[in-house]
Structure 1
Amino acid sequence: MLSKNDRNEEKVLKLQSFARPPLPGGTYVLKTKLFTDAGKDGLKGMPSKFEAKEIKFQITAPRFGISTELIHSVYPLPGSTGDYQNTLPHIVLKRKTFCWERVIDGNKTNFDKPWVCLLVFTEEEVKLEQIKEMTTETFLKEDADVKVPILTLNEDEKIAKTKLKALELDMNLFKRVAPKLDEINFLAHNRQVNTNNKGNNDTNGDKGWYTTVVANRLPIKGITNYAFLVSIEGCTTYMEEPMIANDSRKLRLCLLHQWQFIDMDEKLEDVVKNLNNNVKPLTIELKEGANPTEHIKRCLDFGYAPINHIRRNDEKSVSWYRGPFVPLNAEHHAIKTYKNADQALRFDANTNMFDISYASAWQLGRLLALQDSSFSIALSNWKNAYKRDRPIKIAKDLLLKQNVNQELLSSFINDAESDEVLTDYLIELWNKNTK
């Protein structure tokens, strides 16, 4: 049970407008100059000014792509259908400083402006064919019809020729949908939540801090909407330009992440009624011409699937497996407990195959439980307490018997080198006196 302080702490949500990293990504130059007053002290031949030295170094930060592991969640869910007309799409990232790790326009004073934004378009405005994969070198090649971000590649980026996804938009469409330079500050922020007692704590050491990027446009109803997380580094010129009539130019943007969803005004009643539409049973479809036995047909109808199985002795075989969702009403048997996964194996004599369904569930449940740090600690404490208290309980039970030498027992308890030795001795005594 949570204490009162823990319950209050769970309700706290901290918001922060931005999180500036110690140094944004980019190329830096460290210059040193040394002057002396050697001439004043009469040290002949000692120069009063030394040659200036400089060192260039690079701070790397994501620029042309991000790992999917950096993404915590997106909303609306990818591929989902629902009533989203009053919700701005957004993406949550796991790194606190992500949106401010690059400078949007090369001006070192714009540290508080995010270098990414989330753009929302309909399938009528943007086609997925407009997304192309190319190298950084090709990405930055400008021509009369396609404008590109104003960027300078460092030496490592020139050599690497990194591949990226590029999204080409009509210039006027970008200007109409993209936020203005003075608006982007309001479209990204940090939030800190309480991650205590979470079994799957996927934070990256920022103590519950996440970055949220919000779109500036609501979805359009009754049609597929695309959400694009794009880099706007080097695009400030185009963001501030006024729209030009009949502008045929396109703007090429670096695409970091994308997903799609449909905004539909669905009622719960309609959702429930449509649950069974186009739904097939969770069974394997046999190949044409297959002639299975009645027993195999029955297994497949029950939701079983034959899968490749590598046993612990490296022997390869095929076993039956069925997940927790079945295409029929399952019988509820008495709950059994198992000490290991092998005890949950079942053998099908008709096919000479093992059924590993319950064994897999046992192993999966064990791994998920041990992944939870609070459960692992509680289990370890329970084992230690049992190990400590069991010899004492056995000793008390033995002392109640008349034929046990209490002095000998007490002496052995005091001289025991370990709990294991003591436990073994007490169990031996117990067995002798209970026969």
Structure 2
Amino acid sequence: MRDYDQSLWLQTSRERVAAQTLSGDLTVDLAVIGGGYTGCSAALAAAQSGASVCLLEAHQIGHGGSGRNVGLVNAGLWLPPDEIRLHLGQAVGDRLIALLAKAPSEVFELIDAHGIACEPVRKGTLHCAHSASGYGDLCTRHAQLSTSGAPVELLDATTSRQRTGSPAVHGALFDPRAGTIQPLAYAVGLACAAQDAGAQICIQSPVRSLRKDNEGWVLRVNGGTVRAKSVIQATNAYHQDIAITAPDYVPVYYFQYATAPLSHNLRASILPQGEGCWDTGLIMTSFRLDQEGRFIVGGMGNLSHAGGFAHKAWVRRKLATLYPQLADQPLIEGWHGRIAMTSDHIPKITQIGPNALAAHGFSGRGIGPGTVFGRLMAESLLNGDPSLLPVPPVPEYSENWTGLRHVFFETGAALTHFIKARF
């Protein structure tokens, strides 16, 4: 059976980290569980502050959602600003909006500062209207974002079709703050930077248990023990083994397919200014080019699910709709990743114990928010200052009917793609 966990990014990443499995015992100021954007950002910030740090990844760096991401470095969350304020209140909402507005700058500055070879392109993103009603949604978002100080630009259908090269776009919202990266390479590059700053990066080192004693936290790893004053759990949708701190979320799968590298003539007609894109569809579509000119299209769905055939058939149809000139382009086999979705689409920070925090629920917006959340969680714990956190921590967080809602999302995505692949 095809392994849909093996992404294109594994083949094309030029970043490598010289990490080993943890052996023996270790005592540190901060233990970080999880080697994605949040965990690697936390380890880097802590090590740069002079703290002793150990990052523990159960597989390889970027194994989870970070290594299967679309690679869009967006500002903010999926929600428009007014909805964020509605859920969090004015003061907390304004703070989170302001922090995440600067998230792309933080990401690209880290890439520059540490020479991370992750194909960074900061040409903005286009949130594309898939229909006339979708354009109405973009008008609302534009008004709210502009009021909040975001330098976004609303583009009409004609301009959007010129910018994308696609006849299927009904308008777009351009955000110049954003861009694209090779997502796995960015995660690995953060781990390398953390290692250079003094952090110990450990792969193939799953944490089997986590407990608090009178001296601090005790983590059992590969038969050894890590003692830490503070802990950050950054496992998101790929949590394993530690049942008592498992994050509660709705698991949603997102898949991608890529063409072979396009010819120069084809590349010139598709996204000529280099933006990354996603659309306003209820079952969202993303599309972009990578550095080698592969066209990458993605949508919601589990390729290993019974409806996987519908997702695969939809890709070919979607290619022809977006760019008729790509209808016959060969496709590289697809891959998918798991997203931790919260009901309100706002990330959560949970206080899992004294001097111990967990973050999850980026709802598909992992790159910028994960980078910011990881850094601020590390700074908060090392300084003993909860006010530094991007959102107030909660003692616990639960979701209702997560299994049923997962089935609902997956079934809806499969049916949508089945219908659109046929008609």
TM superposition score category, shorter chain reference: under 0.3
> Which structure carries more helix by proportion?
2
Larger Rg: 1
TM-score by length of 1: 0.18
Give the number of the structure with larger relative contact order, counting CA–CA contacts within 8 Å between residues 6 or more apart.
Answer: 2
TM-score by length of 2: 0.19
